[in-house]
Amino acid sequence: MKNSFLAVLAIVSTVIGSGFISGKEIVVFFSRFGNFSFLGIALAGILFFALIFLLLQHSDRVLQRVNKSKFVFFINMLICIVFTAAMFAAAINLLNWDKSILSISAFCAILCICAFVCRNGLSSLDKINFALVPFMLFCLVVCLCSRAKPSAGFPQGVAGGAAGLYGALYVVLNIASSSVLIAGLGHKLNRRQKTQVAIIAALVLSVILLFANIVLLQNPQAFDKDMPLLSLFTSWQHQLMSIVVFFGCTSTLFSLVCTSSVTMRGLCKSEIGIFAICVLLPLIFSLLGFSFIVAYLYPLCSILGVFLLFFMLLPERSNAVSKWRDFLRRKKS
């Protein structure tokens, strides 16, 4: 039970920052399609379960592909760098960077935790996720409940087919960035636990995504904001939501650093080199800005994620051929 719970927290922590905590990603992939966005969310829930389960079930194959295939390695690192850069940009925005002692101290603390996670891998995430993720989800639900309007309608949508496509790309984008981390979790779980983790993680992500999308559809004036969900709140709720978004971005940041460092460790033995590529390089790219990365680089990475997951989960050729031959023999007999 403990392993399953920690696995769910690890998966949610990876998606929560890059997937929906700011609301910008929800606007780009769902809310802008109006009432058709619910079609995309329904498809996203199904794909979340399927891909999480497949990565857990075929963890050995996935990790071997990352270590042996230069193509898989490169695409995985590129996606992780883009996502990590986005989380750095979001965290810096939330710190209201003014070179004060508080903001500098907080930023240095983030870098120190990144270095710790980079060095210690998956085992270092359990305590962080156990402390942050339940708190974030509870506060997020409280804030969203305060903004929901039960009697409000939703804007009419257009391009329903595009809504479904973007829903699928949204899942691929988020799962591809955490594929190595999810595969690593598979070693600690039996088949029943893998199914449970996939169902619970997909359900949690889908419900929060649905709720946040409803609130955004009821407040379309927030679509153009850098962080649409945060822009909806004032007073103490704004402060609470700022903390939630900050923790969401940093928890995803730590998960992404862990994922990229695990990937890099098979190629580079230098801790300084791993830190430079997994932390410092995304920090430089974060200068592009959060909105730019989400609006332009996220859709590009979602397409790359399709290829990444395809090659990660593609069955071994020899096994596929042998199974096909066995099927033909049984059919003839």
Measured CA distances, 330 to 57, 94, 321, 324 (Å):
27, 62, 14, 10
Q: What was the pLDDT predicted at 194?
A: 94
Residue 321 has pLDDT above 60, yes or no: no
Across the chain, mean pLDDT equals 84
Q: Which of 115-129, 254-268, 295-309 shows the lowest mean pLDDT across its residues?
A: 115-129
pLDDT, one tens digit per residue, over 136-153 is 888 888 888 888 877 656
Cα distance between residue 174 and residue 250, in whole Å: 16
At residue 98 the predicted structure's pLDDT band, cuts being 50, 70 and 90, is low
pLDDT of residue 327: 54
Range among 2-11, 274-283, 299-308 with highest mean pLDDT value: 274-283
In single-letter form, the type of residue at position 238 comes to: H
Q: Tokens for 125?
A: 């995430």
pLDDT of residue 21: 78
Query: How far is CA 69 from each of CA 61, 66, 96, 120, rounded to the nearest angstrom?
Result: 11, 6, 41, 24
What pLDDT, on a 0 to 100 scale, did the predictor assign at position 331? 55
The answer to whether the CB of 260 falls within 8 A of the CB of 77 is yes
State the pLDDT at residue 84. Answer: 93
Query: Does the pLDDT at position 70 exceed 60?
Result: yes
Sign of the Cα torsion 12, 119, 281, 97 reads: positive
**pLDDT class for 281, splitting at 50, 70, 90?**
very high
Question: Residue 23's domain spans which residues?
Answer: 2-332
Percentage of the residues of the chain whose pLDDT score is greater than 70? 89
pLDDT band per the 50, 70, 90 thresholds, residue 71? confident
d(CA 82, CA 142): 30
Confidence of residue 249 (pLDDT cuts 50, 70, 90): confident
Output the domain CATH number for residue 9: 1.20.1740.10
Q: What is the DSSP string of 74-141?
A: HHHHHHHHHHHHHHHHHHHHHTT----HHHHHHHHHHHHHHHHHHHHGGGGHHHHHHHHHHHHHHHHH
Task: Output the DSSP codes for 243-300.
Answer: HHHHHHHHHHHHHHHHHHHHHHHTT---HHHHHIIIIIHHHHHGGG-HHHIIIIIHHH
Count of domains for the chain: 1
What percentage of the chain exceeds 90 in pLDDT? Answer: 20
pLDDT band at 180 (very low <50, low <70, confident <90, very high): confident
pLDDT band at 43 (very low <50, low <70, confident <90, very high): very high
Average pLDDT of 280-288?
Answer: 93
